[in-house]
Amino acid sequence: MHKMIVGPLAATLLCAGAAPALAQSAGDWGGTWSGFYAGIYGGYALDTDAASSQHLGPFGNGDVTYQMDSSTSRISTLFGGATAGYNAQIGKVVLGVESDVSVGGFSKSSTGTLTMSGTAGDDDHAVSISVESVSSYSLGPMASFRGRLGVEAPQGVLFYLTGGLVVADRTVASTMTISTTGLDDEDSYPSGTSTSSTQQLVMGPTIGVGVESMVAEHISLGAEYAYVALPEAAAAGGGIDLFGLGSDDSPASFAGGFHSLKAALKYHF
């Protein structure tokens, strides 16, 4: 996790190194950060969970063989949004409050498949039973409400820490499908598809660091790294149990944390 934080943080610090040069285009800084502002931003978000895939099998005895496959994806998305806030400058210290709303492809999934195959009947015809479970996690519009504590540097540059609360619309869904082929009595085995879905507002803390620079009268550019820690989510099983496999007792679990790096353009009133 430390390596995942170092990368975005290094990029933010790189932007910080370029901030004084950007500020030169605004001339000698003689203004104040105090007042209201609004703007837009865009960035990239990356999950704390890693993507993975696994294949096992086939294994078993001569009568029945098993094969299992699983894979998980991670949040890796561009995002954008709008922001507004207020600063109060006291000497070189800048205190502020800020809120924003973000939209993007904040989603990931977990898929598992178990296939059992063998022979049955006097003619030893092929039979198989397949269980597939797909769970998904997605975040809709996401808002944050944060405080900011900054220090003004020369030439209209502001370095700051930020932290607060994130509220997001979270949906967790799961689908389980059982299919059979070659069975003499299809009705004696559970088959079909079962789905479940939950949607709720979730909240979690966020903390970050950033730099902002006045590049023209009333106009600033900034870069910010933030970590968001929403609650972990569990997707219930599909509600079908096949010989003790794939029941509601084995839900997929999704971590709620991710890193983000964004650039912002703001107008100061």
pLDDT in tens, 132-158: 888 899 999 999 999 999 999 988 899
Among 14-23, 120-129, 228-237, 247-256, which is the least confidently predicted range? Answer: 14-23
* CA 231 to chain CA centroid, nearest Å: 11
Q: Let me know if 3 is exposed, middle or buried by CB neighbors in 10 A (0-12, 13-18, 19+).
A: exposed
Interatomic CA distance for residues 181 and 179, integer angstroms: 7
Rounded to 5 degrees, φ, ψ at 88 are -130, 115
pLDDT above 90 for 236: no
Interatomic CA distance for residues 107 and 150, integer angstroms: 33
Q: What is the mean pLDDT of residues 242-258?
A: 64
Residue 164: band (very low, low, confident or very high) from pLDDT cuts 50, 70, 90: very high
CA 12, 165, 1, 161 dihedral sign is positive
Residue type, 58: P
Q: What is the mean pLDDT of residues 204-222?
A: 96
Interatomic CA distance for residues 158 and 149, integer angstroms: 10
User: Which pTM value belongs to this model?
Assistant: 0.76
2-268 CATH choice from 2.40.160.20, 3.30.70.580, 3.10.20.30, 1.10.10.10: 2.40.160.20
